[in-house]
Amino acid sequence: MISLSTSSTYPESTAHAFTYAAEVGYDGVEIMVGIDALSQQTHAVKQLSEHHGLPIVAIHAPTLLFTQQVWGFEPWGKLERSAAMAIEVGAEVVVVHPPFRWQREYAARFVEGIANLERSTGLRFAVENMYPWRAARRSTPMYLPHWDPSTEDYANTTIDLSHAAIAGDDVIEMAERLGSRLRHIHLTDGTGSAKDEHLVPGRGHMGADRFLRHLASSGFEGEIVLEINTRRARSRAERVADLRESLEFARKHFEV
């Protein structure tokens, strides 16, 4: 099952993302809860799912830097609301970023708190790999307990190839370290620059084709979600072409 993150069609709306996903032929959708008001409304995204006949496979909690004000500032409240949305729309996964280093109280209880949420909700909270922030040849660790989820005892995790490109992480080695705890994939690409590029898979240096073949051969049964940046598309046709190329790439190389 290959799905599309609604962030892949930004700055167009969540409603447009469903239209693109249906047109191109994706199997499902991941909702990025963000500054688009519609993405924050459970009934609205549920109606879009039903209208287009596309299941919602995951909810991405608003834990990014630019979504810090979405659903309030209290981080556990954000995760609880994300869980409530996931349950209502039938998703089994909530994707969450690790805490920023200035969220020290949140970070101190994060690993235990995620486990408690999984027990209380029956959902999988898939903690995503991040990266150190780099500038002027210096890197700063911005996430606690760590940007690499394999360093902690999470039951469920997400690998994002663009984030791994910035961190200089080998995604196949990370997947092997995570083993059965790898539950979710943000399929994209990167060149290793300090910028979070989210390229169409195959256009960067991460070996996205080899990574997909590794997942298939290892029996991966989680969700694969395309999370690419199409903001440079100069027309609707160009955006559709990027989304179609991404889907075809995923289906070609993830052959079970």
pLDDT tens digits, one per residue of 69-127: 899 999 999 999 999 999 999 999 999 999 999 999 999 999 999 999 999 999 999 99
Domain hosting residue 119, numbered range: 2-253
* Mean pLDDT within 184-199: 96
Cβ partners under 8 Å of residue 126, min gap 6: 58, 93, 94, 95, 96, 156, 157, 158, 183, 184
The more confidently predicted of residues 228 and 73 is 228
What per-residue confidence (pLDDT) applies to 255? 84
pLDDT digit string (tens) for 104-120?
999 999 999 999 999 99
Average pLDDT, the chain: 96
Q: In the predicted model, is pLDDT for residue 136 greater than 70?
A: no
- For the chain, the first-to-last Cα distance in angstroms comes to 11
How do beta strands 138-140 and 133-135 pair?
A: antiparallel
Count how many domains the chain has.
1
How many residues appear in the chain?
A: 256
Q: Which residues pair with 237 in a beta bridge?
A: none
Identify the CATH number of the domain in which residue 221 sits. Answer: 3.20.20.150
Structure tokens at 41: 């409304």
Is the peptide bond preceding residue 99 cis, with omega within 30 degrees of 0? no
Rounded Cα gap, residues 181 and 177, in angstroms: 9
What per-residue confidence (pLDDT) applies to 62? 96
What per-residue confidence (pLDDT) applies to 139? 76
Which pTM does this prediction carry?
0.96
